[in-house]
Amino acid sequence: MIRFSHVVKEYPRTGFALQDVTFRVNKGEFAFLTGPSGAGKSTILRLVIVEEKPTAGEVRVSGIATSNIARAEIPRLRRRIGVVFQDFRLLEDRTAEENVAFALEVTGSPREGIPARVSRLLTQVGLASKGTSYPKELSGGEQQRVAIARALVNDPVLLVADEPTGNLDDRATRGVFQLLRDINAAGTAVLMATHNLELVKRNTYRVIEINRGQLVFDSNEGNGVPGAASSTTTTTP
């Protein structure tokens, strides 16, 4: 599903963000991406959603090498990837329904099918009764659920989540994480970047740890010490 082969990412001003990173996330797999702030987690996610291209090495997503991808092909690839962010990235002046529908509309879904699809997705994320609420009227956990519903509009094969529970309290974190597990159980691969080591420890999913732009631990490979790099950083339970 995702394949990083000796990936290097260098920014002209800040230098190396990733150095020789190699890993693979398989179809239907759930993987945590951990590491301290600035370790390179977000860079990895940006490379996956083709917001960036690698300086060297190869990134393959759903079989497509992103280095050579034509600009016109990127939207098509992104429709196969759902993306969720820590800050939800909802449109404040649109209701939950409209936020989800927006993603369907802009990707050219047939108009007549949109209301039913939106309703089904909001039900799936447990917000059937909050469709007409604006983001400001929803709790953080509910806003993240709307964002997840939006990420699922195109039935993605991969869901990329960048600190999806970073702004949430324990209860909301549990709810959102359970939702991600359910999505994974339905067959969608999930790559979740997180600082939340408690959450990582409580679950038996694969852990890929990045520090200073390098892969320092992969539970599938059994190399390194999990959390070694993150042990000095503050983590939220």
Partner 1 sequence: MRLTFREVMLGVRRSPLLSTLSVVTIAFSLFAFGLFGLLVLNVDRALRGVEEHVEIVAFLADGTLPESISAAMGDISAFPEVARVEQVSPEQALARARAELPEFQDVFDASFLPTSIEVRLKEGHRDPATVKEVSQRIQTYPFVDDVRYGEDWVKKLYDIRNIAGAAGIGLGLLFAAVAIIIIGTTIRMTVLARSREISIMRLVGATDSFVRRPFLIDGFFKGIIGGLIALGLTWGTSALVSHNLIQTSFFDTGTAILGVIGGGVIGLLGSALSVGRHLRRV
Residues that bind partner 1 (CB under 8 A): 49, 51, 71-72, 75-79, 83, 89, 91, 93, 102-103, 105-108, 150-151, 153-154
**Whose Cβ is closer to partner 1: residue 12's or residue 108's?**
108
Shorter beta-carbon distance to partner 1: residue 21 or 103 = 103
Q: Based on CB atoms, which residue is closest to partner 1, 71 or 136?
A: 71
Q: Which residue has the tokens 């301290």?
A: 36
One-letter amino acid at 105 equals E
Minimum distance between the CB of residue 77 and partner 1, rounded to whole angstroms?
8
Which is closer to partner 1, CB of 102 or CB of 205? 102
CB 1 within 8 A of CB 158: yes
How would you class 38 by CB atoms within 10 Å of its CB: exposed for 0-12, middle for 13-18, buried for 19 or more? middle
CB of 24 to partner 1, least distance (A): 24
- Shortest spacing between CB 94 and partner 1, in angstroms: 9
- First-to-last C-alpha distance (Å) of the chain: 30
Transcribe 208-222 into DSSP letters: EEEETTEEEEETTTT
Closest distance of CB 208 from partner 1, Å? 22
Burial of residue 204 (number of CB atoms within 10 Å: 0-12, 13-18, 19+): exposed
56 versus 74: smaller Cβ distance to partner 1: 74
